[in-house]
Amino acid sequence: MGVPPSPAGDWLLEVNNLSCGYGADSVVKGVNFALSHGDIGCLLGPSGCGKSTILRALAGFLPLNSGEIRLESQTISLPGRTLAPEKRRIGMVFQDYALFPHLTIADNVGFGLKGLSKAERRQKVMELLEVVHLQDLANSYPHELSGGQQQRVALARALAPEPTLILLDEPFSNLDADLRRRLSLDVREILKTLGISAILVTHDQQEAFAMCDQVAVLKGGELLQWDVPYNLYHEPANRFVASFVGQGGFIPGKALGPDTIESELGVIHGNRAYKWEPGTLVDVLIRPDDIVYDENSDLRPKVVEKTFAGTSTLYRFRCSEETEFEALFRSHLDFHLGEQVPVRVEADHLIAFERTG
């Protein structure tokens, strides 16, 4: 579910009915989305879904088989006509940083700056290094910096020519989890402060949700939903998005009405009305945060698995062979394997799909 082509001038970036790939074969088919000025978008999905292919097309490295790419109302890609990458005012931050090892940090950042005097170039470089908090390392070399610092240098270098759009190709994948989390928030703050739009490619949902305003979920070269992170989690467009985004699993149920489902967890009432006939067999998505501990509840499923995570514990419960689900409780509630725990469902957002097969 993308967006339809929009009137010229409404968006910074428009991708309309994009199909592209390698040779005559289209890896990506019929993709539509649009990005507003100052927003950060994300291409999210499993390996091989087409994320990097779309990014290469945006950068001008890959021709289109059909469709159109527009940047600031200017067409930059059509089948048979591709504006050269260096003329697009698009910056690129690569997964492996791609820094020049023989140049200082200052010279790496200033590498793409043309037409400036030596003093102007130096001033611009130092301003950018201050933005990424590396002004004290201007005369150092890449091998003297940590991975996170090198990524900041790569970002500063991409920002130096004052691009209209920055493309980030899995820029944090070589870093440990804690540094990834902190650096992604830092990069978001830098881009927002400068008012620069960006497209991030990642397979990490937490990274996508923390950093981006709009997220595209892709599968098999198709864009299934382009939406804000909140809606992807609470209002998924289809079963794949529901399964791929966040944690959770499906349990069987039967529709009693448009917003009411009967299941082994009891009768579940939701916030949306479906068009099912009463009696329709459905699968209901139960997320860990849909389950609450309630000592007065008659529903007492058995603990079959537990994962302690410090402040919380993730439990897997079983009611029957058909009905298993997960719940996330604060770690002070310490239950044992085999124990029957009183719980109830509190699913404010009802997510369900008609059962097939």
pLDDT for 5 equals 41
Q: Are 101 and 142 in contact (CB under 8 A)?
A: yes
pLDDT at residue 9 greater than cutoff 70: no
pLDDT band at 178 (very low <50, low <70, confident <90, very high): confident
pLDDT band at 324 (very low <50, low <70, confident <90, very high): very high
Percent of the chain with pLDDT over 70: 97
pLDDT at residue 23 greater than cutoff 50: yes
Structural domain boundaries in the chain: 11-89+163-243, 247-354
Over residues 193-208, the pLDDT tens digits come to: 999 999 999 999 999 9
Q: Which fold has domain 247-354?
A: OB fold (Dihydrolipoamide Acetyltransferase, E2P) (2.40.50)
The mean per-residue pLDDT over the stretch 100-126 comes to 93
Stated as kind and residue range, the H or E segment containing 336 is none
Least confident of 43-57, 70-84, 205-219, 267-281: 267-281
Over residues 131-172, the pLDDT tens digits come to: 999 999 999 999 999 999 999 999 999 999 999 999 999 998
Q: Which fold has domain 11-89+163-243?
A: Rossmann fold (3.40.50)
Sheet containing 40-44, strands listed edge to edge, beginning at the edge strand earlier in sequence: 90-93, 165-169, 197-202, 40-44, 214-219, 222-227
